[in-house]
Amino acid sequence: MLDEKNYRVDANFRWLGSRMKETEELCLTVCGIERCRPDKTFGPIIRDDYHVHMVLHGKGYLKMNGKTYTVTDGQIFTTFPDVEVYYYSDPKDPWYYTWISFGGIRAAYFLEKAGITLEHPVRDAYMDSGAFLNIAEKILNHHELIIENELLRTSFLYEAIALLVKSYSEQHPRKNLNSYPSDVYVNSALDYIHRNYARIQVSDVAKHIGISRYYLSRIFKNKMNISPQTYLLNYRLEQAG
């Protein structure tokens, strides 16, 4: 829950903070938008959550994990728990950014699916930066201390992470298409076949799951020792008998 001191606004800055809930899958901790001064610095500091920044204009520099990164508009930089970080504006072209910060037991997993790791903390946005800004603004606009806003802020956090994953997946389809273990897809295929066997084709099964027919055929045969096409035909015959 928030209290009044955890929401602040001035001419160049909006900030909202919340308590970490480490046992949750994802938990919003901070959200903000800032037009940074030329001399704006942050850190060195060690945090206990993830901070994902979308640079809207300008540029700045990130020092983390023994490396220095130059980050410009249209890029994202992320800081990680338990890692010392220091970042600062470019004095001639200071950055204007928005950020969403969070923790949770699946935070690292979701960020990895978005192409964000400690070894690769900076990535191109692969999206209109305004879309990420819009989500941050929705979080900030629901800062009042009511339960429905807490739920909405959490939903907006998931929306932001989904946008990061989607934008990365679309840019790197071979890296990120198959997000779950193959058994999950095969079990989903079996369930769909069993419920809809009379009126579907294998292409319908693949489309329902969200993977290619080629990939479905490969993992299905590896697990079931039979192609999905043959399995579907055999299952129809069994049900007809």
Cβ atoms of 152 and 142 closer than 8 Å? yes
The token pair that represents 7 in the structure block: 């929401």
Residue 26 confidence class, pLDDT cut points 50, 70, 90: very high
The token pair that represents 135 in the structure block: 């989500």
DSSP assignment string, 132-162? HHHHHHHHHHT-SS-HHHHHHHHHHHHHHHH
Grouping H, G, I as helix, E, B as strand and the rest as coil, residue 224 is helix
The CA-based angle 215-219-220, given to 5 degrees, is 110
The C-alpha atoms of residue 238 and residue 58 are separated, in whole angstroms, by 65
List Cβ neighbours of 236 (8 Å cut-off, separation of 6 or more): 197, 198
Asked whether the CA dihedral 16, 22, 27, 32 is positive or negative, the reply is positive
Average pLDDT, the chain: 91
What is the reported pLDDT for 116? 96
Residue 193 confidence class, pLDDT cut points 50, 70, 90: very high
The C-alpha atoms of residue 136 and residue 102 are separated, in whole angstroms, by 13
Q: What is the DSSP letter of 91?
A: S
- Tokens 């990120």 -> residue: 176
Percent of the chain with pLDDT over 90: 77
What is the reported pLDDT for 175? 56
How many CA atoms lie less than 13 Å away from 27 in the CB half-sphere?
16
What is the reported pLDDT for 18? 85
- Strand (E) or helix (H) holding 105: none
Residue 174 confidence class, pLDDT cut points 50, 70, 90: low
pLDDT, one tens digit per residue, over 69-128 is: 999 999 999 999 999 999 999 999 999 999 999 999 999 999 998 999 999 999 999 999
Stretch among 1-5, 13-17, 30-34, 141-145 having the lowest mean pLDDT: 1-5
